[in-house]
């Protein structure tokens, strides 16, 4: 009781509502080597012109947590036009929120002007979702409109001080994810914050504050009002965060996966494919963490594969021919998902390439394997096969055969080819029967 009272008293007057806490290096411990040189230059240039300028948001949070940030955002009291005038290679983007992209070497920094908090005049939809806000504000207001306390930190790379209005550094050190303001209304303003809570807490190993956690189950339905393209962006972030497995487990624990996104339903509610999907996500996580390239096409191909298999199986049971049945199954699954997932044509093409090559791994006779490894998408298809074997969908022996085949030189590969039962095949072709029963993908796809 007394403790509770003390806590309330403390909360009320420290840190002051107007002055941020100033955190010295000794406490935040940011490693300068992890700070982007270009981000520092942007801040220096702005400060040199008499403006305030700080590295802000996720980058500061990650730096304090000892994680190398993937991008650096800068917040300033300069207007977009003023920022634009200071950097030769820069441009103003965005309509709803005007920000400036400053290009420096290979890096693009997002520079945003401090934005005001919402007030009763802010335009919202009938559920409380904010529709428009582009009013510049003070640094304090800018901090107040951010979502979580750990995301509202401002780092001056010149003085190496961190400015903290909402005890974010404490929360980060105590491994707690706390909302700025009332979580329920902050979720209503922007339901995507529910996903962010889960994704960022998984990434940083933070525990959701009970007040952040409690309303999620009740408000999860609000996600339906979020434009699909925005949800898709969030999903991509989640899937390629390097912590996808952990994030999905947490989403499930919060009851957030249900009906939230069609893709998530696919991922989490297919018992057969779950092992396969989890292996794929774990391998994506490992690649992201090792800074290796990843491709949305490959990941989506794995996420939807068991849908395709089930659909294909049904068609074969209905006596459709295997090859056309596979094509039809692929198209149907992609059509169902592509719209909701905003999968681009190019990505859809990558996905199909990977799927189409799968049945051809069964063909180990004749010249087929030699042609197969010349396929432009062979490497991705082979990685896909490895996951299929690991999840138990195809025999490990098949994957091992291909691994050995790839490793061999030309003579070694020739020696591995199984005898071609050429006679039988020629005959069946001659009669114009369905081409290569066992090999679903036609040679025409070569």
Residue-by-residue DSSP string for 3-24: HHHHHHHHHHHSS-SSS-EEE-
Cα 125 to the center of its chain, rounded Å: 27
Encoded tokens for 24: 């010295």
Binding partner of residue 147 among ligand ATP, Mg ion, none, CB cut-off 5 to 8 Å per kind: ligand ATP
Which region, judged by CB under 6 A, interacts with ligand ATP, from 13-21, 185-193, 311-319, 396-404?
A: 185-193
Q: How far is the CB of 114 from ligand ATP (least distance, A)?
A: 12
- Respond yes or no: is residue 331 known to be catalytic: no
Smallest gap from Cβ 110 to ligand ATP, in A, equals 8
Binding mask 187-226 for ligand ATP (x = CB under 6 A): ---x-xx--x------------------------------
Q: Which is nearer to Mg ion, 70 or 433 (CB)?
A: 70
Stretch near ligand ATP under the rule CB under 6 A, chosen from 147-155, 261-269, 368-376, 404-412: 147-155
Residue 71 annotated in active site: yes
Q: Is residue 73 at the binding interface for ligand ATP, with CB under 6 A as the rule?
A: yes
Q: How far from 258 is each of 263, 271, 417, 446, CA to CA, in Å?
A: 10, 15, 47, 40
Task: Look at residues 129, 49, 59 and name the one whose alpha carbon lies nearest to residue 83.
Answer: 49
Residue number with CB closer to ligand ATP (30 or 152)? 152
CA distance readout (Å), 221 to 30, 124, 224, 386: 39, 17, 6, 38
For ligand ATP, which residue of 76, 98, 113, 151 counts as binding (CB under 6 A)?
Answer: 151
Contacts of residue 76, Cβ cutoff 8 Å, sequence gap at least 6: 46, 51, 52, 53, 54, 83, 111, 112, 113, 114
Establish if 115 lies at the interface with ligand ATP (CB under 6 A): no
What residues are paired with 156 via a beta bridge?
161
Q: What ranges in 223-270 are assigned the alpha helix state H?
A: 228-239, 244-253, 262-268
For the chain, the straight-line distance linking the first and the last C-alpha, in angstroms and rounded, comes to: 74
- Give Cα 355 to chain centroid, integer Å: 22
Confirm or reject binding of residue 133 to ligand ATP (CB under 6 A).
no
Residue 147 is among the residues annotated as catalytic for this protein: yes
Task: Work out how close the CB of 151 gets to Mg ion at its nearest, in angstroms, rounded to a whole number.
Answer: 9
Residue count, binding to ligand ATP (CB under 6 A): 12
| Closer residue to Mg ion, CB minimum distance, 114 or 355 | 114
Cβ count near 340 (within 10 Å): 13
CB of residue 267 vs ligand ATP: minimum separation in angstroms? 20
Q: Identify which of residues 58 and 296 has a Cβ nearer to Mg ion in the complex.
A: 58
Shortest distance in whole angstroms from residue 147 CB to ligand ATP: 4
The CA distance from 301 to 379, in Å, is 14
Asked if 243 is part of the footprint of ligand ATP (rule: CB under 6 A), the reply reads: no
Cis peptide before 15 (omega within 30 of 0): yes
**Cα–Cα distance between 326 and 186 in angstroms, integer?**
46
Catalytic residue, candidates 77, 142, 147, 171 = 147
The contact mask relative to Mg ion for 96-135 (x = CB under 5 A, - = no) is ----------------------------------------
Is 58 near Mg ion (CB under 5 A)? yes
Closer residue to ligand ATP in complex, CB, 233/265: 233
3-state secondary structure of 365: strand
Chain residues binding ligand ATP by CB under 6 A are 57-58, 73, 146-147, 151-152, 190, 192-193, 196, 237
Enumerate the active-site residues. Answer: 71, 73, 147
């Amino acid at each position: 009781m007394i403790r509770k009272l003390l806590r309330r008293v403390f909360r009320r007057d420290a840190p002051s509502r107007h002055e941020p806490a100033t955190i010295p290096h000794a406490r935040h411990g940011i490693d300068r080597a992890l700070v982007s040189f270009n981000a520092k230059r942007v801040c220096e240039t702005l400060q040199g012109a008499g403006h305030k300028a700080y590295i802000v948001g996720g980058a500061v949070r990650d730096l304090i947590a000892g994680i190398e940030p993937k991008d650096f955002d800068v917040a300033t009291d300069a207007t977009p036009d003023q920022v634009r005038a200071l950097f030769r290679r820069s441009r103003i983007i965005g309509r709803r929120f005007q920000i400036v992209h400053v290009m420096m070497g290979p890096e693009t920094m997002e520079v945003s002007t401090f934005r005001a908090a919402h007030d009763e005049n802010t335009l919202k939809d009938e559920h409380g979702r904010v529709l428009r806000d582009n009013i510049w504000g003070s640094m304090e207001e800018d901090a107040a409109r951010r979502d979580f306390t750990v995301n509202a930190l401002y780092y001056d790379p010149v003085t190496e001080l961190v400015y903290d209005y909402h005890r974010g550094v404490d929360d980060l050190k105590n491994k707690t994810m706390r909302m700025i303001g009332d979580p329920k209304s902050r979720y209503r303003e922007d339901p995507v914050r529910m996903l962010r809570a889960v994704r960022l807490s998984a990434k940083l190993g933070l525990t959701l504050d009970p007040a952040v956690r409690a309303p999620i189950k009740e408000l999860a339905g609000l996600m339906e009002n979020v434009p699909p393209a925005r949800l898709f962006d969030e999903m991509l972030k989640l899937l390629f965060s390097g912590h996808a497995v952990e994030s999905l487990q947490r989403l499930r624990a919060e009851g957030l996966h249900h009906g939230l996104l069609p893709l998530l339903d696919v991922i989490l509610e297919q018992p057969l494919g779950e092992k396969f999907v989890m292996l794929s996500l774990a391998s994506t996580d490992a690649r992201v963490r090792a800074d290796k390239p990843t491709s949305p096409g490959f990941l989506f191909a794995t996420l939807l594969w068991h849908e395709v298999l089930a659909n294909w199986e049904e068609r074969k049971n209905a006596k459709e021919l295997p090859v056309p049945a596979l094509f039809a199954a692929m198209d149907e699954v992609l059509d169902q998902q592509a719209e909701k997932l905003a999968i681009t044509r190019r990505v859809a093409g990558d996905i199909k390439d990977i799927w189409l090559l799968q049945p051809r791994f069964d063909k180990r006779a004749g010249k087929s394997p030699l042609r197969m490894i010349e396929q432009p998408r062979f490497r991705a298809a082979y990685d896909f096969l490895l996951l299929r074997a690991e999840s138990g969908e195809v025999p490990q022996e098949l994957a091992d055969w291909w691994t050995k085949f790839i490793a061999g030189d030309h003579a070694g590969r020739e020696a591995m080819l199984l005898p071609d039962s050429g006679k039988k095949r020629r005959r069946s072709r001659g009669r114009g029967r369905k081409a290569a029963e066992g090999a679903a993908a036609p040679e025409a796809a070569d």
